[in-house]
Amino acid sequence: MMPTTAIRRGLGTGLFHGAAILLTVAFLFPLIWAALNSVKTSDEANQQPPTWLPHSLSLQNYRSLAGFDQGIGTYLVNTVVLCMFTVVGSVVVCVLGGYGFARYHFRGRSVLFGTTLAILMVPYATILLPLYIVLGKLHLQNTLIGLALVLVMFQLPFGIFLMRNSFESVPRELEEAALVDGCSGFGALWHVSGRIVAPGVVTVALFSFLTSWNEYLAPLIFLNDGAKYTLPVMLVNIRYASFNILDIGALQAGVVVAMLPCLVVYLALQRFYVSGLITGALRG
């Protein structure tokens, strides 16, 4: 009976999309809700019960956010600086290290590689305590550079592993040809392999960006000067700073500022993210 199967198939597809759309709405709702609330007027955003759609659009919440404590500008600059240090640091260290591990034989090579991967085994939160002391000895406590170095260290297992694999996939002959042509070891790395391993580099950069932009615990511990705080720390502070009068609109504007760059960067670089997952997560 053709019509019945067609109907049944149509019904199945309808049910499928119905369920999928319901779930999609559930997943996107908190994100959209924060965005919607952030553009309401301050009164409407703090209204009880809440309104579903903004009655009028306003930047009031963003203005109160801008004036919070040291000013959103300071926190944004801190976060961007931290991200730059972390991304550049991770990329430089991982590219050099990955190349060294892939191409050269030296004493202690496998010990160093194994130790680097062992960072993954050690829970991050447990070594923050002594790291605090080490950074103090290096005079890097309460600095964005010190914080960035710690974040770079936590990127190493993934980054070194990924970059070593990338360089190993570059045919050696290509580089030897460059060496014969008079390139130095570093020149060979730069000119010949650079292009081929570019996707790996983007992946390392993307992961270290997302980590450093979102990191909460490490800045909370290592930074003790309000003028150095990053966005995630500020977000949580908005709540505790404003004792009785909690400005929900401003907090949601802060949430939007904190999450928007991640969403945009992720959507733009999605394919690098997935390729990173394949190498990073599935080596088990």
Partner 1 sequence: MLTRAPAGTDSPAADPVTGPRRRTGASAARRSVVGLAFVAPTAAIVAALFLVPLGILVYMSFTDWPLLGSPRVNGVENYRQLGSDDRFLGAIKFTIVYTLITTVVLFAAAFVLVAISNSPRRGTLFYRTAFFLPYVVGTAAASSMWWIDANDQLGVFNHALQTTGLVDQPVGLLATPTKALLTVIALVVWKFVGFQLMVLLVGLQSIPAQLYEAARVDGASTWQRLRYITVPSLRPTLALLTVLSVTGSLLAFDQFFVLTHGGPDNSTVTVVLALYNKAFQSFRLGSAAAEAVVVLVVLVLVNVIQLRLLREREK
Shortest separation between residue 187's beta carbon and partner 1, angstroms: 7
Phi-psi region at 215: left, alpha or beta (left = phi > 0; alpha = psi -120 to 50):
beta
Tell me how far apart the alpha carbons of residues 140 and 84 are, in angstroms, rounded to a whole number: 17
Is the CB of 169 or the CB of 270 nearer to partner 1? Answer: 270
**Directed axis angle between helix 72-103 and helix 198-214, to 10°?**
140
Is the CB of 73 or the CB of 130 nearer to partner 1? Answer: 130
Is the CB of 73 or the CB of 108 nearer to partner 1? Answer: 108
Is the CB of 81 or the CB of 127 nearer to partner 1? Answer: 127
Shortest separation between residue 44's beta carbon and partner 1, angstroms: 12
Counting beta carbons within 10 angstroms of the beta carbon of residue 207, is it exposed (0 to 12), middle (13 to 18) or buried (19 or more)? buried
Tell me how far apart the alpha carbons of residues 189 and 26 are, in angstroms, rounded to a whole number: 47
Is the CB of 125 or the CB of 227 nearer to partner 1? Answer: 125
> What tokens were used for 172?
């050696």
Is the CB of 115 or the CB of 169 nearer to partner 1? Answer: 115
Shortest separation between residue 1's beta carbon and partner 1, angstroms: 22
Shortest separation between residue 76's beta carbon and partner 1, angstroms: 14
Tell me how far apart the alpha carbons of residues 240 and 231 are, in angstroms, rounded to a whole number: 15
Exposure of 208 in the CB half-sphere (CA atoms within 13 A): 36
Is the CB of 77 or the CB of 125 nearer to partner 1? Answer: 125
Shortest separation between residue 226's beta carbon and partner 1, angstroms: 16
Shortest separation between residue 166's beta carbon and partner 1, angstroms: 14
Give phi and psi for 230, each to the nearest 5: -100, 170
> What tokens were used for 235?
């977000």
Shortest separation between residue 41's beta carbon and partner 1, angstroms: 15
> What tokens were used for 281?
């997560």
Shortest separation between residue 73's beta carbon and partner 1, angstroms: 18
Mark out the alpha helices in the chain (DSSP H runs): 2-38, 42-45, 60-66, 72-103, 109-118, 124-137, 144-168, 172-180, 185-188, 194-196, 198-214, 217-222, 231-241, 248-268, 270-281
Is the CB of 70 or the CB of 237 nearer to partner 1? Answer: 237
